[in-house]
Chains A and B, each alone.
Chain A
Amino acid sequence: MTTAPPADDARHDYVLRLFITGHTEKSRRAVRNVTRLCEEHLHGAYDLEVIDVYQQPELAIEHQLVAAPTLFKVLPLPPRKLIGDLSDTGRVLAGLGIRS
C-alpha cells in the first residue's frame, strides 16, 4: 500500500456547505453557480446544504463564518472557504481542488 495523497478525482464524495443571505442577488447567483458546478463536475457524488445565515445564524458561527455568501468545502480535507457569489468558475474549481 502506498501513502500517496488521494488523486483530485471528481468521484470522491464532497461535503459542501453554502451560506447565503436570504434572497439577495448574490445569494441567488451563488446557488445557481454552485448547483451547476456540482452537477457538471461532481456527478452526484456530493452532499450540498444551503444555509441562510439570517435563518440559522448559529450554524454560521459553528463554521467560523466571517462573511456571506461563502462556500465551505468540509470534505475532502483540507477545509476551504470561498467567498462571494462564486461566478468565477475557474477559481472555484481550483479552490475546491477539482480538475476540470
Chain B
Amino acid sequence: MPNEGTDVEVADLRQRLAESEETLRAIYQGEVDALVVRGPNGPQIFTLRGAQEPYRILVERMHEGALTLSTDGLILYSNRHFATLIERPLEQIVGRPLAEFVPVSDVPVLKGLLSDGARWSVRRELTLQSGEALVPTLAAASPLVDEESGAVLLIVTDLTAQKHSEEIAAAEQFARSILEQATDAVLVCNRSGRITHASWAADRLSGQPLTGQVAWHTLPLHIGASELTEGQEPAMSVQALVHEALAGRSVHRLEAGLDQPGRPRQHFLVSAGPLRDRTGEHIGCILTLTDITERKEAEVHQAMLVAELNHRVKNILAVVQSVASQTVASSPSVGQFRTSFEGRLRAISLAHDILTQLRWGQVDLEHLVERSLAPYGGNARVAWSGPTLRLPAQNVVSLAMVLHELSTNAAKYGAFSNGCGRVEIAWRRLDDGMAELTWSEREGPGLSGEPVPGFGNKLISRVMSYDLQGSAKMRYAPEGLGCRLTFRLPNASWIETEHAEAPLAPVGN
C-alpha cells in the first residue's frame, strides 16, 4: 500500500538526518579525533589533534608488537606488528582479552606483567599463541598515564630467532663435547672435503691442529680391504673415501695403515658416512678412525706363536715316530718295546716340562742334568760339574734324550745296575764354539770289549751328530763306560762368571 512505502522512506530519511546532525554536533563539541575524507588517491584520515601523528607512525612502523591494555588485560589498542606476530586480522584483536592469545601455561606470567606493569617498568619472557605455533617473546610492560583507570603499555619482541641461535649454540657445544670425549679420531668435513671439526684424538694423531685443512692432505692412510703388507697398493685413497661419503654412500670398518716418520706402523678401522642437515641435504661427511694397532700386533704375534707351535709339534711327532720305529726294530718282544718306548717318551716329556716351565726360554744344563738323573739316586750316585751353560730350547730335547739313553744303559748294565756304582758328569767349553760333556761311570760291574751299538748307542750318535752338530764317542774302560759328547752351542750360551758344581754326597756303604 503506497502509504506504507512512503512511511518507511520518511522514517529512513528522518534517521539519516538525525545522524548527520549528531555527527556535526559531535565534531563541534570535540568528541571526535579524526575525520574520514574521500581523496583522489583513496580514503584520507584527517587527524584533529596533530601532535600525536609522528608518535603514532612510529608505533605503527616499529618491528615489535605494541599494545595498550587495561589493567584487567583488555586490549585497547594493537599495532600492525602484533597482529602479524599472532597471525590474526587487525579487527579481531582490540576489545579482546590478551589472555586469549596466550597459552594457558603462560597466563600467570601475563597476570604478573599486568599487575607489576601498572606500577613500574617490568620485563618478562612471555609465550604467545600464533595459530598452531607458539612464539617466544620478551614482553616489556610499563604504566600508561591515563586519566581513568590505569592502563599498561606492552612492547612485545619476538625471540624466535634468538632462541634458535641459542639452540644452535647449544647443539654446537654438545657436538664439541662429544668430539672432545671421543677416544677415536673423528673428522667432520664440509662439502669441499675441508675439515670443520676434529676430535682431540684426531689432532693428537696427526700432531697438528686439523681444522681448516683438506682431509686428504692430512693423514696419509693406506686403506685396504684386508691386511696390507709392505709395497701393496691401497684399495682406496683417502680422497676417494671422502668423495664416497660426500656422495651419500657409507663405508664401514675398512682396515687402514698409517705410516708416520719415526713411528712404527699404526693400524685403524676406518668408517665414513655423509653428514646431513635437518632437511636431509648432504652438507659434509664424518670420518672415524678406531685404533686397532694393539689388536693387530696381537694377531700377528699369535700367528707367529701358532706357526712356532705347529713347527714344534711336527718336530716332536717326527722324533716320536723315529724313536718308535727304531725301538720296535731293536726290541725282541712287545713287553720290552713298551718299556723302552715308554722310557724314551718320558725323557722327551721331561724335556718339554722343563721347557714349558721356563716358557720355552733357555734352560741351564745343570738343571737338565739334575732333572734327568733324578730317578737314579740323586746326589748319592751322581756328581756333576761345569760352568753355567744356557741351552737353547731346541737343544734341550736332544740332550734330554741322550742323557736318558745313557742313564737307562747305566741302569741296565752299568753303574746304576749295582749297589755302589756312580756316574760323574762334567762339561766344559771348547775353543771352536763347541761344548764337551763327559759321562764317566765308576765301580759298576765290569765290562769288557767294545760296546755293541744297540739302538741306544745309535740314537745317541745320531742325535749328537745331526741334532746337536757334534759327536759321541763311547769307550769301555775297566772302571766303567766312558762317553765323550761334543755339541755346538751359540756363543751367547756361556756365562763364564758362574760355575755349577754338585759333588758327590758322602756315601755310606
Contacts and interface: CB of A to CB of B under 8 A. Distances in A.
8 contacts: A32-B76, A49-B92, A55-B80, A60-B36, A60-B43, A61-B43, A68-B32, A83-B22
Interface in A39-54: 48-54
Contacts of B33: 21, 24, 26-27, 67-69
Interface in A45-100: 48-61, 65-69, 78, 80-81, 83-85
Give chain A's interface secondary structure class: mixed
Interface string B32-48: 11111010001111010
B95 A48 contact: yes
Nearest to A36: B74
B151 A28 contact: yes
Given A54-B56, A83-B22, A21 B95 contact: no
B76 A28 contact: yes
A32 to B, nearest CB: 6
A24 B49 contact: yes
B508 to A, nearest CB: 130
B91 A57 contact: no
Contacts of A68: 32-36, 45
Interface of A: 17-18, 20-29, 31-32, 34-35, 48-61, 65-69, 78, 80-81, 83-85
Contacts of A54: 34, 45, 56, 60
Nearest to A61: B43
Given A29-B148, A61-B43, A83-B31, A23 B68 contact: yes
Contact of B77 (A22, A83, A84): A22
B93 interface: yes
A66 B23 contact: yes
A85 B33 CA distance: 10
B70 interface: yes
A78 B12 contact: yes
B318 interface: no
A52 B34 CA distance: 11
A68 B76 CA distance: 15
